[in-house]
Amino acid sequence: MTSAINLVFSNSKYLLLSAVIFSSMLVGLLILSEYVFINPYVVSHIPSGTEFGFVLIVAISALSALVLPMNIFRINTLKKSKQKMGGSVFGSVVGAAAGACSCGPIGFAVISTFGSVGATATAFLTNYEIPIRMIAVGILAVTYFTTVKSIKTECAFDPDL
């Protein structure tokens, strides 16, 4: 497992990609979920009772930053199909979408544009924010293990070496 990670991230291009994915997802989701504010002052705030939501955002960002570059490596280096990329992208998008609508500007725009259908979708994503994010973490974790297995098999390296 460690060898697969070393193999991918020994290339600085993938390391940089991972850092960009992690930081942009983390900052974006923390702002959307109102753990970080940038206007009028930059300030972070984790109200009591919302700690688990914060941990899930960090987990989704970290797993996305791990899984997405590994799948891009598979596609670029091993010229494999993009099929397995779907799981990581899906997990990241689902994790990001949960709670992102809520009562923020995105939710307001969605409801203003799509009316009652938008309101229903927004209500669903808001009400089930935590379970949806947990499912996203699960999808990303499964994708991570299948990707590592796939890289090991396709590269046919001996992990003990």
Partner 1 sequence: MNKLGVTLVVIVVVIVAGVAFSLYSPPSETANLDMGRTHGTISTAMGSPILGDPLAPITIVEFGDYQCEMCYRWFHTSKPLIVENYIETGKANLVFVDLAFLGRDSSKAAQATYCAEDQGRYWAFHDLLYNSQERVDDGWANSERLKAFAFSLDLDMELFDSCLDSGKYLKRIDYNIQQAKKHGVNSTPTFVVVGNDQEKQISGAQPFSVFKQILDTMV
Site for partner 1, rule CB under 8 A: 34, 37, 39-41, 43, 45, 47-48, 50, 102-105, 107-109, 111-112, 116, 119, 122-123, 126-127
Burial 98-132 (b: 16+ CB within 10 A, else e): bbbbbebeebeebbeeeeeebeebbeebbeebeeb
Question: Nearer Cβ to partner 1, position 47 or 138?
Answer: 47
Cα–Cα distances (Å) from 76 to 69, 86, 148, 149, 158, in that order, read 10, 15, 15, 17, 21
Q: Rounded to the nearest whole angstrom, what is the least distance from the CB of residue 158 to partner 1 in the complex?
A: 51
Of 18 and 102, CB closest to partner 1: 102
Nearest-approach distance from CB 24 to partner 1, in angstroms: 20
Instruction: Pick the closer one to partner 1 by CB: 45 or 79.
Output: 45
Q: How far apart are CA 86 and CA 60, in angstroms?
A: 16
Q: Please, what is the minimum distance in Å from the beta carbon of residue 18 to partner 1? A: 29
